[in-house]
């Protein structure tokens, strides 16, 4: 079993070795900038780990790992334009640094580059990979569409929210696991099981993000606590609190003066409703769903690796 | 030989019959709006005509024709955001009607839908189609990148301009012809020849657009004459005139008062330099290049069809 740090090194090396066309180089500068920005590399790691876990050679799935990471970074570039986000991973976003035009165009290029990688060295698996990738891509856009619509709509339910984050975040983690399994030569049932693992993992992952914004340790979390509350972002916590005690949430948002008092007021409502515990229980449920979805026929030791990952992402403090 | 109006009808019918996912329907409304917007359907027509010309069945290339038309419309949606264009084909652009966020996201969806169509029913040709499509897509973005850069740069040469329009416009026409030939089962030499036909046709087509803006008949052209002059767009005419008599162009743009006088002043410089004739001669050269590129082994009558098309596009008045 290749150690995680060596897998990560392979991914970073493959990204660093990418060659860009020599023409219209301004198009590719934001692409290289974004890909070099790091992050957890969770999605390409899942591709390589899943490939190895079903008996495949990791080298054979590096292009598909890059494709998933490229797709993810393309969505970040475009999402940052749409959300007017100024910073990501401690640096200015592409649109802030190069403007809207460049961000739209470089994002488009990165999506096409993802397709190029996807089918590179995919002997015999092209059709299966493309069908999965295309379906997943449309679902991710649909998730982003619903996210945008929810911000302007009252009465969004917890179920609708879960379906939105499933589309926006989880399906890509599912697809990453499935693509790794496909490249490792797994049968359909194994591929499907790995997809469901990644999908459930993604739900736990996104809900933990929501939870950390309010209940994270400011010293560890790395972002300001309560940012979602201040921007009145429709997270699981806010939607659930609105379902249970909409009038009290409304009152908390009426507090005049420093934003800190609004954060404290909204958090007090969450606390009185026991939402920290309810959210944590839901995260654990999805982490367990992920573990239970794992196929029985993984190579020795790999089941434990995926179980550990689900526990780690579930318990993470940043 | 299927008549052109029947080919066009097949394309329109295939677009009208498109099914969209029932989820996040707001994502697909601008897609349907754009695809229904008509236009010449030149690119999908080229796919079907090339397929038939090499002995293939037109029905077998409809998905690829849709893919090319979808890709073209995706670029229009994103270009209109980038250029802040308010109207296209007599209607508000997507960004004007639904906003930037929707235009970016729906454009992304349309690009992915193009990939879905491309490989649908492409038995055995997927690799060749994908490689061509991906390369072409990057070239189109590179062309748009150069176009953007040229607007902020002095000293752009005629050669640079031709290379830019080759990338931005011509390669997609070349790819359309090549994809039709591939789906019709043509050999590599025939596919390449059809590509070169479309590529040269595209150069003639774009230069005719530049020419029509100044020398078109206002009653027929359908757009305001001189719009490129007013916006000081770097067309072939302006770049060539700046090469030959930059100071006189500069003086013409210094004229104060009504824009009509600037248009007349710049046009007078073009006329004194004989640029209408020089541009027309260049258009004819590319139209002839296109005809000469046509492969010798097309089915009876098809060579004439492609020759007629080159003549028609060359001589068009709108």
Q: What is the DSSP string of B216-257?
A: S-HHHH-S-TTHHHHTT---HHHHHHHHHHHHHHHHHHH--S
- One DSSP character per residue, A64-87 reads HHHHHHHHHHHHHHHHHHHHT--E
pLDDT score at A219: 76
Q: Is B63:B114 a contact under the CB 8 Å cutoff?
A: no
Inter-chain touch A26–B149, beta carbons under 8 Å: yes
Give me B137's structure tokens. 């897509």
With cut-offs at 50, 70 and 90, classify the pLDDT of residue B123.
confident
- Least CB-CB distance to A109: which of B23, B141, B146? B141
- The whole-angstrom separation of Cα B48 and Cα B69 is 12
Nearest CB among B105, B111, B112 relative to A145 is that of B105
CB-count exposure of residue B297 (10 Å: 0-12, 13-18, 19+): middle
Mean pLDDT of B277-295: 97
Environment class of residue A280 by beta-carbon count within 10 Å: exposed (0-12), middle (13-18) or buried (19+)? middle
Within an 8 Å CB–CB cutoff, is residue B81 touching chain A?
Answer: yes
The predicted-structure confidence for A66-93, as pLDDT tens digits, reads as follows 999 999 999 999 999 999 999 998 899 9
Least confident of A9-23, A219-233, A240-254, B247-261: A219-233
Is residue A222 predicted with pLDDT exceeding 70? no
CA–CA distance, B139 with B149 (Å, rounded to integer)? 15
A280 pLDDT band, cuts 50/70/90, is very high
Q: Look up residue B214 and give its two tokens.
A: 């100044």
Please give, rounded to a whole number of angstroms, the shortest distance from the CA of A80 to a CA of chain B.
10
Percentage of the residues of chain A whose pLDDT score is greater than 90: 88
What does the alpha-carbon distance between residue B223 and residue B318 come to, in Å, rounded to a whole number? 9
Residue A249, pLDDT above cutoff 70: yes
pLDDT grade for A94, boundaries at 50, 70 and 90: very high
The vertex-B262 CA angle with B259 and B267, nearest 5°, equals: 130
For residues A305 and A312, give the distance between their C-alpha atoms in angstroms, rounded to a whole number. 10
What's the ipTM? 0.94
With 70 as the cut, is the pLDDT of residue A99 above it? yes
Chain A: closest CA distance from residue B146 (Å): 6
Residues of A in contact with B27 (CB under 8 A): 141-142, 145
Does residue A202 surpass a pLDDT of 80?
yes
Are residues B105 and A26, on separate chains, in Cβ contact within 8 Å?
no
Domains of chain B: 1-186 (1.10.600.10), 193-318 (1.10.600.10)
Secondary structure (3-state) at B270: helix
pLDDT of A112 > 80? The answer is: yes
Q: Which residues in chain B have their CB less than 8 angstroms from residue A78's CB? A: 104-105, 108
CA B103 to chain centroid, in Å, comes to 20
- Answer whether B64's CB lies under 8 Å from B41's CB: no
> A223 CA to chain B: closest CA distance, Å?
25
Residue B18 in contact with partner chain A when CB distance is under 8 A: no
Task: Reply yes or no on whether the pLDDT at B173 is more than 90.
Answer: yes
Query: Does A175 contact B at CB distance below 8 Å?
Result: no
Buried b (16+ CB within 10 A) or exposed e, B260-271: eebbebbbebbe
What's the pLDDT band for B221 if we cut at 50, 70, 90? low
- The tokens describing A316, both together, are 């993470």
Task: Look at A112 and B137 and tell me if their CB atoms are within 8 Å.
Answer: yes
DSSP conformation letters of B43-58: HHHHHHHHHHHTT--G
Judge contact between B168 and B144, C-beta under 8 A: yes
Burial code of B27-41, b = ≥16 C-beta within 10 A, e = fewer? bbebbbbbbeeeeeb
Kindly list the residues from chain B whose CB atom is less than 8 angstroms away from the CB atom of residue A137: 108, 112
Q: Does the pLDDT at position B222 exceed 70?
A: no
Please report which confidence band the pLDDT of residue A258 belongs to, taking 50, 70 and 90 as the band edges: confident
User: Is A242 in the B-facing interface, judged by CB distances under 8 Å?
Assistant: no
**Which of B27, B127, B138 is nearest residue A145 as measured by Cβ atoms?**
B27
Residue B165, chain A, CB below 8 Å: the answer is no
Q: What burial class does residue A256 get, using C-beta atoms within 10 Å of its C-beta: 0-12 exposed, 13-18 middle, 19+ buried?
A: exposed
**pLDDT for the residue numbered B224:** 72
CB contact under 8 A, B27 and A78: no
* Token pair in block for residue A188: 């359909």
- CB count, 10 Å around CB of B86? 11
Determine the Cα–Cα distance for residues A58 and A65; give it in Å rounded to an integer: 10
Q: Is A116 on the interface with B (CB under 8 A)?
A: yes
Question: Considering only CB atoms, which chain A residues are within 8 Å of B100?
Answer: 81-82, 100
Asked whether the beta carbons of B190 and B303 are under 8 A apart, the reply is: no
Q: Look at residue B255 in the predicted model and tell me its pLDDT.
A: 85
Q: Collapsing DSSP states into helix, strand and coil, what is residue A244?
A: helix
In this complex, the residue of B26, B78, B82 whose CB is nearest that of residue A145 is B26
Which CA distances in Å does A204 have to A166, A270, B189? Answer: 10, 19, 54
Query: Which residues in chain A have their CB less than 8 angstroms from residue B141's CB?
Result: 24, 27, 105, 108-109, 112
Note whether B117 contacts A: Cβ–Cβ < 8 A. no
Query: Between the CA of residue B158 and those of A225, B52, B161, B165, B241, what are the distances in Å?
Result: 56, 36, 5, 11, 10
Mean local confidence (pLDDT), A296-316: 93
pLDDT band at residue B153 using 50, 70 and 90 as cut-offs? very high
pLDDT digits (tens, 9 = 90+) for A149-191: 999 999 999 999 999 999 999 999 999 999 999 999 999 999 9
Percent of chain B with pLDDT strictly greater than 70: 99
Query: What's residue B307's pLDDT?
Result: 97
B33 Cα to chain A: minimum distance (Å):
17
Tell whether A145 is within 8 A of chain B (Cβ). Answer: yes
Q: Tens of pLDDT along A17-65?
A: 999 999 999 999 999 999 999 888 999 999 999 999 999 999 999 999 9
Determine the Cα–Cα distance for residues B130 and A126; give it in Å rounded to an integer: 10
Q: How many other C-beta atoms lie within 10 A of the C-beta of residue B219? A: 8
Grade residue A123 by pLDDT with cuts at 50, 70 and 90.
confident
A197, A177 Cβ separation under 8 angstroms: yes
**B207 within 8 A of B76, measured Cβ to Cβ:** no
Spatial CB neighbours of B190, under 8 Å, sequence gap ≥ 6: B54, B181, B295, B297
H or E stretch covering B101: helix B100-118
Q: What is the mean pLDDT of chain A?
A: 94
Distance (Å, whole) CA B74 – CA B113: 10
Report CA A90 to chain centroid distance, whole Å.
Answer: 18
d(C-alpha B12, C-alpha A146), whole Å: 30
Torsion of CA A244, A250, A251, A254, to 10 degrees: 160
Q: Is B127 on the interface with A (CB under 8 A)?
A: yes
């Amino acid at each position: 079993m290749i150690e995680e740090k060596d897998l990560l090194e392979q991914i970073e090396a493959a990204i660093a070795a990418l060659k860009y066309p020599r023409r219209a180089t301004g198009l590719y500068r934001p692409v290289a900038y974004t890909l070099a920005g790091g992050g957890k590399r969770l999605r390409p790691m899942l591709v390589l780990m899943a490939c190895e876990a079903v008996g495949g050679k990791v080298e054979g799935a590096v292009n598909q790992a890059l494709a998933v990471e490229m797709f993810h970074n393309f969505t970040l570039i475009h999402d940052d334009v749409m959300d007017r986000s100024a910073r990501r991973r401690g640096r200015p976003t592409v649109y802030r640094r190069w403007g809207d035009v460049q961000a739209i165009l470089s994002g488009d290029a990165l999506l096409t580059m993802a397709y190029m990688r996807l089918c590179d060295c995919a002997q015999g698996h092209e059709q299966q990979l493309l069908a999965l990738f295309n379906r997943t891509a449309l679902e991710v856009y649909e998730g982003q569409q619903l996210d945008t619509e929810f911000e302007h709509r009252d009465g969004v339910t917890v179920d609708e929210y879960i379906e939105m984050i499933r589309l926006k975040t989880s399906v890509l983690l599912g697809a990453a696991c499935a693509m790794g399994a496909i490249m490792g030569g797994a049968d359909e049932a194994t591929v499907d099981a790995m997809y469901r693992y990644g999908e459930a993992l993604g739900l736990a992952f996104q809900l933990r993000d929501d939870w950390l914004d309010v209940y994270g340790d400011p010293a560890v979390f790395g972002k300001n606590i309560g940012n979602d509350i201040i921007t009145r972002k429709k997270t699981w916590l806010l939607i659930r609190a609105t379902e249970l005690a909409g009038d009290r949430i409304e009152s908390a948002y009426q507090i005049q003066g420093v934003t800190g008092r609004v954060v404290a007021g909204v958090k007090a409502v969450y606390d009185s409703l026991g939402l920290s515990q309810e959210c944590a229980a839901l995260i654990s449920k999805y982490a367990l769903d992920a573990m239970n979805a794992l196929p029985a026929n993984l190579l020795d030791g790999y089941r434990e690796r995926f179980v550990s990952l689900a526990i780690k992402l579930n318990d993470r403090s940043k």
